[in-house]
Amino acid sequence: MRVWQTFLMILVPALTAADLHPNYDDDIKPILRRYCFQCHSAGEARSGLNLEAYAGTLRGGSSGEAIVPGRASASLLYQAITHEKDGVPRMPLGGAKLPDPTIAVVREWIQLGAPENAASVPKGQSGPSLTNYKPTSLNQPALPAMPGAMQPLPPTKTARPHPITALATSPWAPLAAIAGHERITLYNTTTRAVIGELPFPEGVPFILRFSRDGSKLLAAGGRPAQSGKAVLYDVATGTRIGAFGDEHDVVLAADLNADGKLIALGGPGKIVKVYNVADGKLAYTITKHTDWITALEFSPDGSKLATGDRSAGLHLWETATGRIFVSLAEHKDSITALSWRSDGALLASASEDGTLVVWNAADGFPVATVANAHAAKLAPGMYGKPAAGILSIAFSNDGTIATVGRDQLIKQWTADGKPKSASPARDALPTKVAITFDGKLVLAGDERGALTQWDGKQEVALRHP
């Protein structure tokens, strides 16, 4: 149960959890009456803003819309009462900040689409069911691809253990790919044995992606401030199929479309480039982002492309045309990772702001938002706001979400943002997370090159640095 729900049930014991969908008439107007009407009502509409009526609240004032339904962080009203955004006046003017439970009610109301009354249907709730989701066979092959025996590559010496900069698991087979220095290690997640290694002479892989049917492996990366490229391999044979892009800096985000015909990549150049796999030629570019491209992923059916950047920009695009479908404005810091649920109905996004957001891909409304999902604890004697960033995220085939973050924990969540499990605290920062094809194990790599597995109850070391 959310904080605001508990708060209201204490005040009004007759309420039940089913009653607690905040609306303007019953929940928000009393708050505005107490804190805002003296300056923003029909009789005193400062800045042209009248919060005394639902229509006036949605319409906003001279500074623009006060409410962006479904997006609390983009709403001026919410920004004003949280006192968090620079350049936005702190409200109530000259008064103390509203109590946190009260702010939580306003946030929940906006996130649900700002319904007017109890009869209004919250936006975003008409989308896909979270509780009735069943794993899909979309993209499932008749025979999952597994590589044959491969010879290891000659060892390389580095000044320190190489961090796991990329990690991926096959969606249909007990197979994991782990990034290393100029190589990719293939690992059997059932036998816990190394199968072999694939060469990546382009440098360090920062992205590993299995195709949706598991038959191909995409590796992308390079050498920072020098070069970047994406390389496609055949999983069964280890054969190098082709290379794409010729970047002047490392590739930080890349993916292969479900039909295997398109590869998208991005990085410090701030441009998403989409290539045709057949001839390696550039199909189109996306130039809307204003900062480094840090994450991107095609939807399971291939119809949409999600892209995120270092300045919290997050957008959905039509794959066929490259046209914008919807912008998703909720995060406040760099987008670190994206993951689609296997049916393509939900998209999960993670950010350095510590927020996990699950989006309804049909209308762009958040269906779940978890703030401070990985808030680290301050060491004794230290002060300030602890780091809370989420560093990697993955949807499993059964709809569970796994994350790792700056609190050095592995966590699992339901699709509606409820916590399922959390690992013990680790002694190294986890960098990447992936889930095995059967959904039973979460794999996590860390900054020292160690690989561990978490089954929701016990953590087991698979590889030491």
pLDDT digits (tens, 9 = 90+) for 264-317: 999 999 999 999 999 999 999 999 999 999 999 999 999 999 999 999 999 999
Which one is predicted more confidently, 138 or 234? 234
pLDDT of residue 446: 97
Lowest mean pLDDT across 29-33, 74-78, 233-237? 74-78
Q: What is the pLDDT of residues 252-275, one digit of tens each?
A: 999 999 999 999 999 999 999 999
pLDDT of residue 250: 98
pLDDT of residue 12: 40
Residue extent(s) of CATH 2.130.10.10 domains in the chain: 167-463
pLDDT of residue 278: 96
Q: How confident is the model at residue 395 (pLDDT cuts 50, 70, 90)?
A: very high
pLDDT of residue 93: 83
**Cα–Cα distance measured from residue 465 to residue 452, given in angstroms and rounded to the nearest whole number:** 11
pLDDT of residue 1: 39
Query: For residue 201, what are its two tokens?
Result: 């002479």
Q: For 237-326, where are the alpha helices, taking DSSP H only?
A: none
How many helices and strands, by DSSP H and E, does the chain display? 5, 28
What average pLDDT does the segment 308-335 reach? 94
Listed in order, strand segments (DSSP E) in 252-385 are: 253-256, 262-266, 272-276, 282-286, 293-298, 304-309, 314-318, 324-327, 335-340, 346-351, 356-360, 366-370
CATH fold for the domain made of 167-463 = Methylamine Dehydrogenase; Chain H (2.130.10)
**Which residues have CB under 8 Å from 324's CB, separation 6+?**
288, 315, 316, 317, 318
If we measure between CA atoms, which residue out of 227, 311, 319, 215 comes closest to residue 275? Answer: 319
pLDDT higher than threshold 80 for residue 130: no
**Cα–Cα distance measured from residue 281 to residue 381, given in angstroms and rounded to the nearest whole number:** 56
What average pLDDT does the segment 410-425 reach? 93
Q: Which amino acid is at 198?
A: L
Query: For residue 215, what are its two tokens?
Result: 């038959």
**Cα–Cα distance measured from residue 59 to residue 50, given in angstroms and rounded to the nearest whole number:** 9
Query: For residue 384, what are its two tokens?
Result: 């300030």
